[in-house]
Amino acid sequence: MLPLTSGSFRRAVLLRIRSARLLSGHRGASGGPRCRWDPPAGAEELRGELDRFGGVSVRLARRGALDRLDAASFQRRLQAAIQQWRSEGRIAVWLHIPILQSRFIAPAASLGFCFHHAESDSSTLTLWLGEGPSRLPGYATHQVGVAGAVFDENTGKILVVQDRNKLKNMWKFPGGLSEPGEDIGDTAVREVFEETGIRSEFRSLLSLRQQHTNPGAFGKSDMYIICRLKPHSFTIDFCQHECLRCEWMDLSDLAKTENTTPITSRVARLLLYGYREGFDKIDFTMEELPAVYTGLFYKLYHKELPANYRTMTGMD
């Protein structure tokens, strides 16, 4: 949070902070390079690409001239390149390093580079050359877990499990972490099936919990979402490896029991409210829509709009 300060100072702070979103590399994966940068003499291996945010992005080749370069020579060339970039007014350097070229990471770190992120077979380091603290955008901050509250409206029963490994004797909804690129509802349906053998269908998003510095998320934040699912099968065949018990329980019993977590109890009471007075009172429903520019689709969740508000036809 920014402190509230008087006008001009605040504006200066804001300018410093706001431009963080606009910097080099953030949209590099989509926008592509604007032009090729000519490196200083002796640093041909460090050919960089300028971006429209004032940064330069260097991708070390997997093979090539760098194979014959030792760490000390690399460091000298990188230092010369940084001087050049600085003199040209560049504000940031992005350095992409294949894992087998990782001997160049420590020399870069000696010159002030830090890890931005790493995944699988490459790492990305950054060096901030602009004024003040770095304004470069960060990497992913959240893992997403999803649980499925599978409720059978015909019997008033809800599917619950007891973990084998933790929270013993506490009834909860089956669930787990989203895989990369997996939609919220798909995670819920997959996890429910894997834990309980029950097939189900996404109906709505019921609640969202945000928690930070999560040990189970390697210190990052955790977003935990509970969805309402409709069962398509009813015979339980639960994962003995993960669950101690699995049952169809009366929803009103789950709403009253003390053998559950606070969030499960809360959502059970929410479901009971929806069951008795209409699920439209508790649901965020989902719709898939096209993104404006990227050609990608996204899924949007909110309280369902009455028809006359959806089209705005005939409204004043």
Which residue in 54, 79, 247, 301 binds a second copy (CB under 8 A)? 301
Stretch near a second copy under the rule CB under 8 A, chosen from 38-46, 77-85, 153-161, 198-206: 198-206
| 29 counts as binding a second copy under rule CB under 8 A | yes
Q: Which stretch binds a second copy (CB under 8 A): 33-41, 57-65, 78-86, 190-198?
A: 190-198
Burial of 63 (0-12, 13-18, 19+ CB in 10 A): exposed
Give yes or no for residue 1 binding a second copy (CB under 8 A): yes
Q: Dihedral of CA 226/231/236/238: which sign?
A: negative
Q: Where are the beta strands (DSSP E) in 153-271?
A: 157-163, 171-172, 175-177, 200-211, 221-231, 243-250
Contacts of a second copy in 5-24 (CB under 8 A) = 7, 10-11, 14-15, 17-19, 21-22
Phi first, then psi: give them for residue 105, nearest 5 degrees: -70, -50
Q: Under the criterion CB under 8 A, does residue 194 sit at the interface with a second copy?
A: yes
In angstroms, the CA 98 to CA 32 distance is 19
Residue 4 makes contact with a second copy by CB under 8 A: yes
109 is a site residue for a second copy (CB under 8 A): yes
Q: Where are the beta strands (DSSP E) in 212-242?
A: 221-231
Interface with a second copy, residue 270, by CB under 8 A: yes
Q: Which of 153, 208, 244, 245 binds a second copy (CB under 8 A)?
A: 208
* Residue with smaller CB distance to a second copy, 38 or 153: 153
Q: Using the rule CB under 8 A, which residue among 35, 63, 165, 295 binds a second copy?
A: 165
Tokens 């706001």 found at: 18
Dihedral (Cα; 159, 163, 164, 169), 10-degree rounding = -90
